[in-house]
Amino acid sequence: MTNLGLIIFSDEEENKKGLKRIYLKIKRFFSSTFITVPIKKIQINEELNIHFIKIKYTLKEVNEFKNFKINRLKKNIYKYSVENSLNKCILPVLAPASLECGICIKNPFSGYFIYTALLFNILEIIADKKDMNIKEFEIGIIQGDDNKLLYSYVKLLSPFVKFITIITNKKKYVQEEIDEIYDETGLSIRLTEDIESGLEGVDIIINLGDFNNFKKCKKIKSHAIVINYGIFKPEEIIFNNIIINSILIKFDNSIESILDKNIISCFTRLELASIIFCHKRDFCTNVNKNNVDNITESSIYSQFLKSGYKITALMGSFQGTECKNLELKI
**pLDDT for 134-168, tens place per residue?**
999 999 999 988 888 899 899 999 999 989 999 99
Among 107, 132, 150, where does a domain finish? 107
Supply the pTM of this predicted model.
Answer: 0.86
Q: Which residue range forms the structural domain that includes residue 57?
A: 2-107
217 lies in the same domain as 323: yes
Residue 140, pLDDT score? 96
120 lies in the same domain as 228: yes
124 lies in the same domain as 199: yes
In a domain, 287, yes or no: no
Pairwise pLDDT comparison (1 vs 284), residue with the higher score: 1
The span from the CA of 75 to the CA of 54, in Å, is 15
pLDDT, tens digit, 9 for 90 and up, residues 30-60: 456 888 888 999 999 888 999 999 999 999 9
Q: Give the CATH number for residue 135.
A: 3.40.50
Question: What's the mean pLDDT in 76-95?
Answer: 95
Residue 173's identity, in one-letter code, is: Y
Measured in whole angstroms, the distance separating CA 234 from the mean position of its chain's CA atoms is 23
Share of the chain above pLDDT 90, in %: 57
Best CA proximity match to 144, nearest among 248, 323, 246, 291: 291
- Count the domains in the chain: 2
The span from the CA of 236 to the CA of 243, in Å, is 16
Question: What's the mean pLDDT in 267-295?
Answer: 72
Predicted confidence band of residue 237 (pLDDT cuts 50, 70, 90): confident
In a domain, 67, yes or no: yes
DSSP designation for 1: -
211 lies in the same domain as 225: yes
98 lies in the same domain as 203: no
Residue 30, pLDDT score? 46
In a domain, 22, yes or no: yes
118 lies in the same domain as 103: no
Residue 194's identity, in one-letter code, is: D
The span from the CA of 222 to the CA of 242, in Å, is 11
Predicted confidence band of residue 24 (pLDDT cuts 50, 70, 90): low
189 lies in the same domain as 50: no
124 lies in the same domain as 19: no
- 216-235: string of b/e by CB count within 10 Å (b at 16+)? beeebebebbbbbbbebebe
Is the pLDDT assigned to residue 102 strictly greater than 90?
no
In a domain, 252, yes or no: no
194 lies in the same domain as 325: yes
In a domain, 127, yes or no: yes
Residue 32, pLDDT score? 63
In a domain, 297, yes or no: no
Check whether the bond before 38 is cis (ω within 30° of 0). Answer: yes
Please say whether the beta carbons of 249 and 312 come within 8 A: yes
Is the pLDDT assigned to residue 282 strictly greater than 60?
no
Among 65, 82, 107, where does a domain finish? 107
Is the pLDDT assigned to residue 306 strictly greater than 60?
yes
DSSP 78-141: HHHHHHTT-SEEEE-TTS-GGG--SSEEE----SHHHHHHTHHHHHHHHHHHTT--GGG--EEE
The span from the CA of 6 to the CA of 89, in Å, is 6
Among 66, 90, 107, where does a domain finish? 107
Residue 17, pLDDT score? 57
In a domain, 281, yes or no: no
128 lies in the same domain as 102: no
